[in-house]
Amino acid sequence: MYRQPVRMLAEVWRALWRKLQWRLFAAFVVILIAAVSVQTITADFFAWRSIAGYVATHRTNALSAPGALVSQAIWAFTISLFLATCASVIAAAAASLFVSHRIVGPIQRMMEISRRIAEGHYHDRVPVSDDYEISHLALSLNSMAATLERTEQQRQELISNVAHELRTPLTTIKGYMEGLIDGIVPSDAATFTLVREEADRLSRLVQDLQDLSRLEESGVSLHIRPALVADIVAGAVQKMRPQFEAKDIALTVALPPGLPGVLADHDRMQQVLLNLLDNALHYTPPGGAACIEAAETGAAVRITVIDNGIGIAPEHLPHVFTRFYRVDKSRSRAAGGAGIGLTIARRLTEAHGGTLAVESTPGRGSRFALTLPAAPAARLPSVRTA
C-alpha cells in the first residue's frame, strides 16, 4: 500500500533532479551540510581533548585558580573552533570541486567544442552521458554542428558543381576560338553558331544561378495575378517546339474547355514550364513524345508534363528537386543540364503557394504535376497575355 506514494515521490525527485536549478540547490545544501557536520565533529573532538587534558594536568589547582581554568577552556574552545573551521572549509572546497566537476565540467566542454565548431571543425561533437538539461543542451549543440557540417558539404559541392558547369562552355568557346586563330576550324556561319550556342548556355547557367540564389534568400519578386493556363502553356510550347522538332520528339497539348485560370506570375510560371519541358527534352529519346495536360482539382488547377522517356529509378525520385543532383551525371552533362532547373521550378511553384511533384517508372517515362491555386472567374483576363 506504500508502493504508490513512494513511486510518486521517486518520480518527482527524478523530475526535479533533471532541472539544473534544483541540482545546483541540492549541491549547495550538500556542501552546507558537509561543512557544518565536519565543523561540529572537529570542534567536539578537539575541544573535548584539549579541556580534558588541561583538567587532568591541573586537577589540584582547579579550586585554587578557577580563572586559569576558565581561560584555558576558552583557549581550548578557540583552538578547536579554528581547527574545525579549517576542516569545514577544506571539506566544503572538496565538495564544491566535486559538484563543479559534475555540473560545470560539461559546460566547459561544450564551450570548448563550440569554439572549435566556430573555427570550422564541424565534425566535433559534445559527449552526452545522461538525460539532464545539460545533456539536452549538448544534443542541441551536436545537432547544430551536424547541420553546419552538412551545409559546409553542400557549399563545397555547390562550388565544385558551379566551377564545372562554368568551365564546360568556356572550354568549348576557348577551343573554337583557338581553332579559328590557328585556321583549323573554318570561320563559317556554323562555327559561329556553335560558339553562340555555348555562350547562350553559359548565360542561361548564370541566370539560373542568380534565380536560385534569389529564391533561396526569398528575394524573388512575383507579380501574382489571374492568368489563363492556355496562355502560359502556349508561350512555353512556342519557345520549345523547335527544339522538340529538331530532336524528332512529338510535343502535344491537351487542355479541356472551360478550364479555370490560375493565380500566378505569368512569366515565372512560364519559366517553370520551360524547365519541365527542357527536362523532358533531355531525357526523351528521338522518336518519343511529350504532352502537357491540365485539369481542375477542386480550388486548384493541375498542369502535368508527361514524357515517355527513360524515366527515373525509385531511389532517385526523392532527390530530383535537389540542386545539382543528377540521376546519371555523365549523360546529363553531355546533354548540357546544369542540375538546377527542377530546383528552380519547385521553388518558384512553392513561392506561388502551389506544389510540384513527380512520378516516374524506369523505361516508361515521367509525370511532373504542377498544382496552382485557381483564380476567380470574374477576374480572368478576356484576351491572351502578351
pLDDT of residue 288: 92
Reduced to 3 states, what is the DSSP secondary structure of residue 289?
strand
Residues 6+ apart with CB under 8 A from 104: none
Which residues make beta-bridge pairs with 356?
Answer: 370
Which residues make beta-bridge pairs with 359?
Answer: 367
In angstroms, the CA 124 to CA 127 distance is 10
Q: Could you give the angle at which helices 266-282 and 341-351 cross, rounded to 10 degrees?
A: 150
In angstroms, the CA 237 to CA 186 distance is 34
- Give every residue of the chain whose pLDDT is below 50, as ranges: 1, 330-336, 378, 383-386
Residues 6+ apart with CB under 8 A from 384: 228, 230, 231, 234
pLDDT of residue 17: 52
Write out pLDDT tens, residues 199-233.
887 887 787 777 777 776 666 678 889 999 999 99
- Whether 375 contacts 231, CB under 8 Å: no
Write out pLDDT tens, residues 321-355.
877 676 655 444 444 455 678 888 888 898 888 99
φ and ψ at 224, to 5 degrees?
A: -80, 130
